[in-house]
A and B are shown apart, each in its own frame.
Chain A
């Protein structure tokens, strides 16, 4: 940050301070902290966060879970990263080059990189990390992207070069997701059992200071951080499994930020002035959506008329209004609305029960015994929706149940605890219909979810989708490096998917976050990369910090 910019900042802050002071009612109590005051950026302080599940370890390529990567992304760098506008930029890498045949990528590391323990970080570490993620013994869930690399080499300590069998469009995105591990500490160790997973040494803004099981993880600033120092000294992440308990802690000022559900965001906090005074609310469109998916191997869901009929019979806007309190978007393609991959020409299926009824009739369903439920070949049209114990999804299912009953389909609902939901129903394919969500990466490649080859137990195409046209588009999209042609491929893919209706998009929801107003420097409104994109620049002015007890 240039000094000029800093000065300018201070100037704006000062004038704002005056303004706010001028507006304050004179009878306001002296000791009450006014969080709207502006302060210049200072380093120091502690930010307290909470998570529901404890990470199993901090080598995220092994753990493969969000709890692990939430912590480890503060400790380890990748070769590349996304900037605030979701364009790729160098993280460990100063610049990179793609060969003219688009099969080889050469990464040049920044000079003088160091691990937190002062050892140099070189291309040997990158090569080691690639070997680790592709090593069959490590069984990393992220291996598939990196197995496509035919050859990886390190011409010198600053250079890392990978060659693919054929051009692979999601390659750069995959390198932005792989956290580089230190070779000198991990060589020859079993990554599944190594103590390093609980005492990691990284290169990023923070390093692990202490980990009290079932209580908290404390990170503190890494003096050798390759991207320069972060502002806040310590990041404490407390393990609080219950969402309502987390909210109590947020209200009691014992944590600084948490993700909210729509009711907390738009009903509870706005109704309480004392919470509004100290909590700032942020809303950003997430890269995720909730859907209802059919098991396409079960009858009658193999019939596209039935799937489209059900799509017409469900009122999506009602779900967005009733369950997400308006904090959702009705979508027609499996991409974040407003991004280039989302096809603007597509419109979601409207709520049209009459059309649903006629499609069902066409598919051979009639109410022959007058009980209000449709039958085909003497069998009533009845199925079970399963979902995990997620309040929003359960409520969506109840609304779907009501709408489907109106067109003569009988629906039962079952909410199942996450672990058995995955192992007993999803992996075995033992379900009719699911209500679930997909959280997506930034690359438009959705091969894992829709390609017909991805149906083995544990793989993501558990609905059994098999459409040669979609398969071909997905394969084409992976090979296409020209962004415009690639966009065209995925627009076609979305259009085919919408017409085929193997899933029904219910809502693309907003990510809702409350952050204590003592934390400054947060971009609002959030840029495309989300509010967390500049968290290293967040700061907590001295006068707003908690009284810290230095027990640890």
Chain B
């Protein structure tokens, strides 16, 4: 575990990834505290306050049904983060499992899994997700599962490569010669030592999942009314972009900043991991 802590410390010494880290923490805290900090109920409809410009009462204005955009943004942030984390959790779990199988057992298992990966990678994932969602009921749970099930290929490749290289290393060979079982080899030697690249890819994966959820909600296939998500606030804004700019600007910025935050942190972690960029490896 020590390696990971020092990795984070090293990454955070880079001002850009520190900025990314701060952004993520802020978004997290604000979303978690949404019920406390949100000035209004996100679904409170006020037909007398339709499409109001940002003001003291409504910092980010109101939408087409007179709902407070700031409150909807805060609650929408929870959805984005939840989808991001759960989807990446699912894809990372699948990726680790398949990557470990392929990298450890090699042979036909490896060939089979890697060909499946190739097939999955050859299908544009956004269209695959659109097609799958069209057959299911759009809901947060389905979105999380579908995004998770269609984005595990990168992790699989990563884990497989780590396993392949690690199993040639002396400490693994030694352990194997001493008669360690496969499970012991995998869980005490191979997996802990491949964890850092997995973390990096997971952090970058969250950014992708947040974008994906926003895209699906924007197309009306994601989170359903009246629940708010950054993507569906953006859809409401599309129609009135020349007039109600606040409906497009704020969710757009939120998506941009959040994705940027994850990417900066992810890049920072990757650089910290790369032996050529560090000094104390």
Instruction: List chain A positions with a Cβ less than 8 A from chain B.
Output: 243-244, 247-248, 251, 261, 263-264, 267-268, 271, 318, 321-323, 325, 389, 391, 394-395, 397-399, 401-402, 412-415, 417, 420
Point out the residues of chain A lying under 8 angstroms from B65, CB to CB: 322-323, 395, 398-399
Point out the residues of chain B lying under 8 angstroms from A267, CB to CB: 50-51, 243
Q: How far is it, in angstroms, between the C-alpha of A263 and the C-alpha of B62 when the chains are bound?
A: 14
CB < 8 Å neighbour of B243 from A243, A271, A395: A271
Main secondary structure, interface of A, reads helix
Count residues of chain B with CB under 8 A from any CB of chain A: 22
Q: How far is it, in angstroms, between the C-alpha of A24 and the C-alpha of B6 when the chains are bound?
A: 76
Other 11 A-B pairs with CB < 8 A, given A251-B242, A263-B51, A414-B137 = A248-B242, A263-B239, A263-B240, A263-B243, A267-B243, A268-B242, A323-B65, A325-B50, A391-B236, A395-B64, A399-B45
B138 within 8 A of A: yes
B256 within 8 A of A: no
* Pairs of residues from A and B, 4 with the lowest C-beta to C-beta distance, nearest first: A322-B47, A268-B243, A413-B225, A398-B226
Q: How far is the CB of B237 from chain A (nearest CB, A)?
A: 10
Q: How far is the CB of B71 from chain A (nearest CB, A)?
A: 15
**Inter-subunit contact A322/B50 (CB<8 Å):** yes
A-B contact pairs, 21 of them (CB 8 A): A243-B239, A244-B239, A244-B241, A263-B64, A267-B50, A267-B243, A268-B243, A271-B243, A322-B47, A322-B50, A322-B66, A395-B64, A395-B65, A398-B225, A399-B45, A399-B47, A401-B225, A402-B45, A413-B225, A415-B220, A415-B224
**Inter-subunit contact B64/A412 (CB<8 Å):** no
Instruction: List chain B positions with a Cβ less than 8 A from chain A.
Output: 43, 45, 47, 50-51, 64-66, 134, 137-138, 220, 224-226, 236, 238-243
Q: How far is it, in angstroms, between the C-alpha of A389 and the C-alpha of B238 when the chains are bound?
A: 14
Main secondary structure, interface of B, reads loop
Q: How far is the CB of A422 from chain B (nearest CB, A)?
A: 14
Given that A318-B47, A398-B225, A399-B45 are known contacts, is A420 also in contact with B64, CB under 8 Å in the complex? no
Q: How far is it, in angstroms, between the C-alpha of A248 and the C-alpha of B238 when the chains are bound?
A: 12
**Inter-subunit contact B238/A415 (CB<8 Å):** no
**Inter-subunit contact A394/B225 (CB<8 Å):** yes
Q: How far is it, in angstroms, between the C-alpha of A537 and the C-alpha of B183 when the chains are bound?
A: 86
B64, B134, B220: residue with the most chain A Cβ atoms closer than 10 Å: B64
**Inter-subunit contact B45/A414 (CB<8 Å):** no
Q: How far is it, in angstroms, between the C-alpha of A412 and the C-alpha of B236 when the chains are bound?
A: 19
**Inter-subunit contact B220/A417 (CB<8 Å):** yes
Q: How far is it, in angstroms, between the C-alpha of A415 and the C-alpha of B45 when the chains are bound?
A: 19
Point out the residues of chain A lying under 8 angstroms from B137, CB to CB: 414
Q: How far is it, in angstroms, between the C-alpha of A120 and the C-alpha of B168 when the chains are bound?
A: 91
Nearest to B44 among chain A residues (CB) is: A402
CB < 8 Å neighbour of B138 from A321, A325, A397, A414: A414
Q: How far is the CB of A384 from chain B (nearest CB, A)?
A: 9
**Inter-subunit contact A398/B224 (CB<8 Å):** no
Point out the residues of chain B lying under 8 angstroms from A244, CB to CB: 238-241
**Inter-subunit contact B225/A397 (CB<8 Å):** yes
